[in-house]
Structure 1
Amino acid sequence: MSEAIEVQSSPEATNPFALSIKGIDLHYGAAQALRNISLDVETQKITCVLGRNGVGKSSMLRAIVGQHPVSKGRILLDGADVTKAPPYARAGRGIAYVPQGREIFPQLTVRENLEVGFARLPRKQKFIEEEIFELFPILKDMLSRRGGDLSGGQQQQLAIGRALVTRPAILVLDEPTEGIQPSIIKDIGRAITYLKQEKGMAILLVEQYLDFCRELADVVHIMDRGEIVHSGPAEDLDKPHVRHHLTV
């Protein structure tokens, strides 16, 4: 089936949200991982999803980027229904994914890892924008180093840089602070804020680091047992009844 058929136009094309998830369920065989998940990710806003381990946060992201089919509901990118579209079609509509664990290519150089992002770009755009090196200067210093030789924090910067090479409108990040030293967490936070404010990106961030979300997020959603149990502004994270959902 062609991309033109799989990515259908929608009467909601005027939707102000870059990404809308409407009542999705997701199953792994007989096990249900997501139940009636709905949320919106707005342009020039950071939307953070929090929750304990195993509540379905990564499953939700895999559904959004097309790595796992949903059992029910719809996923809209800029008003277009992409629920049945493959990952490459969603990438073609401007969504970029930084997975948990980074998934860089350890045997490729930093430059080659970044150039992987060229795949969806027209020939005239197949270059690494200098802005990426301004956000993450260490990448420019290590272009000839193998990805596997980088520290965990440097690999995370590389994974984000690779996503930015695709010139996305929507950036989806799965726990970018996991196992990262504090100084690099601050660098990543500054980069995310810049992408929101200066590039106008819609950013969906899954995290467990509460302070990171409190500092960056405009909107927060909290998940528990495959469902969203709270939605509201980032200031809600200081309320005891909201924090209760995040305690072990």
Structure 2
Amino acid sequence: MLNVENVTLFYGAAQALRGVSVEARPGQVTCVLGRNGVGKSSLMRAIVGHRPIAGGSITLEGRDIARMKPYDRARNGIAYVPQGREIFPLLTVRENLETGYAPLKRGQRSVPDEVFEIFPILKSMMNRRGGDLSGGQQQQLAIGRALTTRPKLLVLDEPTEGIQPSIIKDIGRAISYLRERGDMAILLVEQYFEFARDLADRFILMERGEVVVSGGRAELAGDDVRRRMAI
């Protein structure tokens, strides 16, 4: 579904990505691993269109999207949950979810029932302001808003950051459920090794803007990945 090939990206004179390649397939979770500052979020911004690439290619279902605007990528099925969640604190939970209607045709503009099946706490908080929710509840809201867009590709940038353990488990179960549906590709940026190990079908590990290790679940269980993430 998603194929990123040999992508380079710059911030001014500073090179953030050096020939990075990754793919995400329906029914699988692909994890992007690495310590802070290695280019993981830059890669996500390139994929969703928030930063232009200097070289390489990005395709979704065989279609070149590297020059598409972010809103066109959303209309083509990419949903992004950024690091820090970025919900609207003064809007209610209902209103936050409804902002996910933006890329949808008029007949699709409803919140899918599965959002409340996955995160039932949101249903009981529909009239509360987003800013009044805990950090973990805000993360659930951000994922629910992304799911409202009916994505083909769900991009999650460090969804466990600063979240209490009980909600980390809820988010893990939600990702597993979405994978088992089989029609959605999931790209997950993560620093929490155990969380990634339990969910990933495939992974890449980044250092200094490039991929240094990649493989399937068996390779992720090896000591080399854990050691590199700990350095």
C-alpha distance in structure 2 between counterparts of 1:43 and 1:237, whole Å: 20
C-alpha distance in structure 1 between counterparts of 2:38 and 2:91, whole Å: 34
C-alpha distance in structure 2 between counterparts of 1:56 and 1:102, whole Å: 18
SS in 1 for 2:35: coil
Kept in 1, the 8 Å contact 2:160–2:168? The answer is yes
TM-score, structure 2 as length reference: 0.98
Quote the offset at 1:240 in angstroms.
2.3
Kept in 2, the 8 Å contact 1:173–1:205? The answer is yes
TM-score, structure 1 as length reference: 0.91
Quote the offset at 1:198 in angstroms.
1.7
Q: Are 1:23 and 2:6 matched, yes or no?
A: yes
- Structure 1 unaligned spans of 5+: 1-17
Among residues 188, 212, 220, which one is paired with 2:195 in the alignment?
A: 212
Q: Are 1:86 and 2:69 matched, yes or no?
A: yes
Aligned to 1:178: 161
Quote the offset at 1:199 in angstroms.
4.8
Kept in 1, the 8 Å contact 2:193–2:226? The answer is no
Question: In angstroms, what is the RMSD of aligned CA positions?
Answer: 0.8
SS in 2 for 1:120: coil
Tell me the alpha carbon deviations over residues 29-59 of structure 1, each in whole angstroms, 9 at most, x when there is no partner.
0000000001111111000011000000000
* The 10-residue stretch of structure 1 (101-110 or 191-200) with the greater mean CA deviation from structure 2: 191-200
Tell me the alpha carbon deviations over residues 99-123 of structure 1, each in whole angstroms, 9 at most, x when there is no partner.
0000000000000000000011111
- Structure 2 unaligned spans of 5+: none
SS in 2 for 1:27: strand
- Output aligned runs, 1:179-194, within 5 Å: 179-194=162-177
Aligned to 1:203: 186
Aligned to 2:29: 46
Aligned to 2:78: 95
Kept in 2, the 8 Å contact 1:213–1:234? The answer is no
How many residues get paired? Answer: 231
SS in 1 for 2:139: helix
Identical aligned residues as a percent: 63
C-alpha distance in structure 2 between counterparts of 1:234 and 1:34, whole Å: 24
Q: Are 1:63 and 2:63 matched, yes or no?
A: no
Letter in 2 for 1:200: D
Tell me the alpha carbon deviations over residues 125-158 of structure 1, each in whole angstroms, 9 at most, x when there is no partner.
1111111001000100000000000000000000
Letter in 2 for 1:116: T
C-alpha distance in structure 1 between counterparts of 2:68 and 2:153, whole Å: 16
Kept in 2, the 8 Å contact 1:214–1:235? The answer is no
C-alpha distance in structure 2 between counterparts of 1:128 and 1:244, whole Å: 42
Aligned to 1:224: 207
Aligned to 2:59: 76
